[in-house]
Structure formats: C-alpha cells, structure tokens
C-alpha cells in the first residue's frame, strides 16, 4: 500500500514547531548554565579531603549516573511538590531535573580534568609556598580547563537531546509541540519525521561547529 506523504498540513503549523524548538533551546541553555554551577560545587566537594563533603558528593554523582533521566523528571514534577508543599511548573521541574542531572555529569568532567593534571604541578606550586586554593586557581585549573572542553561539549550535547523528555511533563519543547501538531493534523509520519529532521539539523550543525572549535583550541594549545 503506497503511502501519500503530505507535508502541507505540518508546514501549516510550522510556527508551533518553531516555538517548540525555541522551548528546547531555552530549556537546554538554562539547564547547562545551572548544571555548570551545580557541577562546579559538586566537583569541589568530591575533591575535598573532608569525608563530610566528599561522601555526599560521590553519592550524588553515583545516583544520577545510575538512574534514568525520566525518573528524575517525574520525581521533580510529581514527588517533590508533595515534600515541599508547592506545585511546580513543567519548565521548573524540567530545569531542576536537567540541571541536577547534568550537574552530576559536569562534576565528573571537572574533577576528571583536575585529577588528570600530574602531581608534579601540585608539588611545584606547593614548593613555592602556595596553599591548596592558590595552587588550584593559578596552576591546576588553568591547565585542566583546556582538557575539560571536549567532554563538556559532549555532555551538553547529550543534555540537549534529553530535553525531549520534558514533553512527558507537557512542557512545550519540540517533541511536545510535535505531539500537539499531530493531534491537530493526524499526520504522525510527517510531523515526527519533520521534527526528527529539525533535531538532526540543529544537533549535527552544533556538533560539527564544536568539533571545529576543538580543533582550533588544540592548535592554539
């Protein structure tokens, strides 16, 4: 049976899909920024010599790395409101879930970068009389930053794909908007193929741009 493709219906509602793409990018951008903050704090805690800081941070990272993102989305939207007595907007719940989750992964990226700097650098810094913070700030982190860029970019890329899960909370990112358009036009084939193409174009372009940037960075360094 030959299928009759009809993209007209979909393109008639293209504005909805564009709004969805904006929603996706908005969610991704906010979550990346907050995730970096969370990741920074957690990384410092994991690097700390005090078990009181290190153990909870490790538990945090292990938890987020070994549970599915969808569980986090649902937990923040359905379960957390019960604990705090406040209901949350889909966007808020999605941001909370994504930032804490990406924060855990970013923490590993940051920590990995710092730990990869050889001991001799620490020793040289200390031998001049620098304390832990000064050594970190002046010697270790500047070198680690460069190494963190590729895994950081990869993680942010994954985060952007994970925004699609926010559709299950009825947040108006691209997948959710596609579902809306589908419920109007009843053309799932065209609708979902279109958004797949939209995701692909945006992500493919972004990943290639990033690869270019990384090459440039490697050449400077």
The CB density around residue 201, as the number of other CB atoms within 10 Å, is 10
- The least distance separating other proteins from the CB of residue 169, rounded to whole angstroms, comes to 11
- The least distance separating other proteins from the CB of residue 6, rounded to whole angstroms, comes to 12
- The least distance separating other proteins from the CB of residue 140, rounded to whole angstroms, comes to 10
User: For residue 10, with 0-12 CB atoms within 10 Å meaning exposed, 13-18 middle and 19 or more buried, which class applies?
Assistant: buried
Q: Which is nearer to other proteins, 37 or 63 (CB)?
A: 63
For the residues of 29-48, what is the DSSP string, one character each?
A: HHHHHHHHHHHHHHHHHHH-
Q: Which is nearer to other proteins, 37 or 87 (CB)?
A: 87
Locate 109 and state its tokens: 């990226």
Q: Which is nearer to other proteins, 95 or 169 (CB)?
A: 169
Q: Which is nearer to other proteins, 65 or 215 (CB)?
A: 65
Q: How far is CA 201 from CA 21, 109, 166, 172, 215, in A?
A: 12, 27, 20, 20, 21
Radius of gyration of the chain (CA): 21
Locate 168 and state its tokens: 């299950």
Q: Which is nearer to other proteins, 66 or 219 (CB)?
A: 66
Contact (CB, 8 A) for 139 and 124? yes
- The least distance separating other proteins from the CB of residue 205, rounded to whole angstroms, comes to 9
Contact (CB, 8 A) for 10 and 191? yes
Q: Which is nearer to other proteins, 40 or 75 (CB)?
A: 75
- The least distance separating other proteins from the CB of residue 12, rounded to whole angstroms, comes to 18
Q: E strands along 56-203, which residues?
A: none
- The least distance separating other proteins from the CB of residue 193, rounded to whole angstroms, comes to 6
CA pair distance 220, 217, nearest whole angstrom? 5
Would you tell me which residues interact with other proteins (CB under 8 A)? 1, 3, 62-63, 65-72, 74-75, 78-79, 82-83, 85, 120-121, 123-132, 134, 138-139, 142-143, 161-165, 167-168, 175, 182, 188-189, 191-193, 195-196, 199-200, 203-204, 207
């Amino acid at each position: 049976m030959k299928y009759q493709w009809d993209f007209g219906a979909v393109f008639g509602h293209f504005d909805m899909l564009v709004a969805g793409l904006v929603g996706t990018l908005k969610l991704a951008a906010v979550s990346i920024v907050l995730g970096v903050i969370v990741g920074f704090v957690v990384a410092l805690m994991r690097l700390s010599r005090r078990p009181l800081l290190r153990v909870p941070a490790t538990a945090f990272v292990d938890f987020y790395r070994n549970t599915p993102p969808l569980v986090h989305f649902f937990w923040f939207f359905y379960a957390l409101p019960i604990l705090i007595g406040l209901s949350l907007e889909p966007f808020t719940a999605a941001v909370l879930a994504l930032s804490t989750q990406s924060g855990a992964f970013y923490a590993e990226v940051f920590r990995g970068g710092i730990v990869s700097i050889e001991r001799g650098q620490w020793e040289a810094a200390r031998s001049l009389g620098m304390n832990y913070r000064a050594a970190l700030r002046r010697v270790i982190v500047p070198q680690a930053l460069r190494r963190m860029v590729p895994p950081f970019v990869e993680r942010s890329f994954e985060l952007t794909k994970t925004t699609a899960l926010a559709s299950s909370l009825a947040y108006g990112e691209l997948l959710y908007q596609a579902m809306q358009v589908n419920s109007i036009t009843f053309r799932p084939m065209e609708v979902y193929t279109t958004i797949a193409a939209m995701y692909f174009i945006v992500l493919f372009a972004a990943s290639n741009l990033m690869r270019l940037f990384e090459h440039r960075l490697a050449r400077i360094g």
